[in-house]
Structure 1
């Protein structure tokens, strides 16, 4: 009985929605890699596709109405966080301390820029622990490949959702103001005067 607490409730968990998410992620990640590779070239020291894009694709294709999956969250969150990670790595040479600091500062930066995106934490870690490709890219890494990957993925997500007749980006509907809310002394009452 206690195991029921560990079973997540998935948004849009119909078979059709899950299959669309899988197809979208396959196309999105593959084409992002191909387009980035064409734009940047290939080689052992070129990071043409960064790992946080996998997590971004999960949000973009599986839960496209989530605030964490919107264009600014994906592009801004990943890019800003990667910039934070590279900056921290530049000044803090202990990888353990730099890792914690990069993720913490990335959360703060995404919060202040209203671009909260969980894969941004991975982008910050990649900026610190990314190896030779990240080191050779330096402060260009947040823009190429991270911002480039993010822009391509969001563009492909937008096209995919349009073709599959799903709304993206999600535009929240304004809350309906009811007459009963005005009579209950809620803050909405002032708007009616």
Structure 2
């Protein structure tokens, strides 16, 4: 649940953040930091010359558990950024005796090296600083400090982050959505990338703003395209799938022979044939592409079905039917039974008519304004 509007000062500044997400992040940090210190303590015992955990790990925990999709919170930046920065801090401390000068040089070099090694991690600056001003415990540890405890702390935190995210069904490490490919294996760009926001538009916008944003370039592309879809859905959300779907659906049983399915596809001139499983529920779909493998029975060649509900706005089907792979969306009820089917043709006709109706409505709204304009004498 999002933060209430009546508490504007307590709204998170991160887009998409909710109170529930922050509570989960707090719990993850509690477990992560606690177990990291416990494991280090069990491994090394109460050695006063070696700290069990370092302060920058607390900042790393904020990133790992609160913003796991950030490029700065991924495993390599956490482990590499902290370890490399601590190593730089120890090295600078050995070379420069002046602590004031050493702190600035250590943090500056840490930023540079993290950037070059693609391990930029904000707590890395604190790790470099800790290596310089950490006191006798860090000084006595020397070049062991970047590895024990910094590297060990970082590795444990990442492992706990992965485990915690699996338990809460949240992705970590974050993997940006792969780029859309042309399913027809030609040189043309995929249909969904030929219109709307282009990569060149994103690059131009980033160059114009002159800012660096904490988001993966591919995630930004995906986000903007989803915004386009949401705008389109809002503008034409009055039309639902139930209004345009075909209800007399040609189907085939999963126990049928391949020849039966092939004949139905050709006789009805369709590309997608829904397959019925147990109790008449949808088991998947099959087309000529699947049948080309030559299996005797279709149960061995069934593909997962692309589905929607009757109350789904038709604009939600656009990305499903423009990926170059799916030719139809099977409409199912809550019990998984087939209620209808929407093909690419159905969607194209519906969207074109909706756009035409919108244009006509706008033209009608202007008519009263233009009808009273004075007409020049001939």
After TM superposition, is the score higher than 0.5?
A: yes
- Displacement of 1:43 in angstroms is 3.1
RCO (CA 8 Å, sep 6+): is it higher in 1 or 2? 1
Q: Does 1:153 align with 2:157?
A: yes
Does 2:125 match 1:110? Answer: no
Could you tell me which of 73, 77, 95 is aligned with 1:73?
A: 77
Cα RMSD (Å): 2.3
Deviation larger for 7-16 or 170-179: 7-16
Residue 52 of structure 1 and its aligned partner are, at CA, apart by 0.2
Indicate which of 42, 46, 67 corresponds to 1:38. 42
User: Are the equivalent residues in 1 in contact too, given 2:12–2:18 (CA < 8 A)?
Assistant: no
Q: Which residue in 1 is equivalent to 2:146? A: 142
**Contact 1:17–1:62 (8 Å) recurs in 2:** yes
CA separation in 2, counterparts of 1:45 and 1:162?
36
Larger Rg: 2
1:175: how far off? 4.4
Q: 2:195 aligns with which of 168, 180, 185?
A: 180
Change (3 A) 1:173 1:96: same
Runs (5+) with no aligned partner, structure 2: 1-7, 181-189, 202-378
* Aligned mates of 1:100, 1:55 — CA distance in 2: 20
Label 1:112 to 1:186 Cα distance change in 2 as closer, same or farther (>3 A): closer
Query: Is the aligned partner of 1:52 residue 2:56?
Result: yes
Q: How far apart are residue 132 of structure 1 and its match? A: 1.1
Give 5+ residue unaligned stretches, structure 1.
Answer: 188-193
| Number of residue equivalences | 183
- Secondary structure (helix, strand or coil) at the match of 1:180 reads coil
Separation (CA, whole Å) in 2 of partners of 1:185 and 1:113: 25
Q: Runs (4+) of structure 1 moved beyond 6 Å? A: none
Which protein has the bigger helix share? 1
Hey, what's the Cα distance between the residues in 2 that align with 1:158 and 1:74?
Answer: 13
Give 1:186 deviation, angstroms: 5.2
Of Structure 1 and Structure 2, which has the larger fraction of its residues in strand?
A: 2
Q: Does the 8 Å contact 1:11/1:63 carry over to 2?
A: no
Pair 11,44 (structure 1): closer, same or farther in 2 beyond 3 Å: farther
Report the CA distance between 1:10 and its aligned residue: 2.2
Q: Alignment partner of 2:195: what SS? A: helix
TM-score under structure 1 length normalisation:
0.88
1:18 aligned onto 2:33: no
Matches within 5 A, 1:78-97: 78-97=82-101
Describe the superposition over 1:131-190 as per-residue Cα deviations: whole angstroms up to 9, x where unpaired: 1111111001000000000000100010000000000000011344611379x8959xxx
The CA distance in 2 between the partners of 1:45 and 1:137, in whole Å, is: 7
Deviations 1:23-77 (A, max 9, x none): 0000000000000111122132221100000000000000000000000000000
Counterpart CA distance in 2 for 1:185 and 1:159 is 35
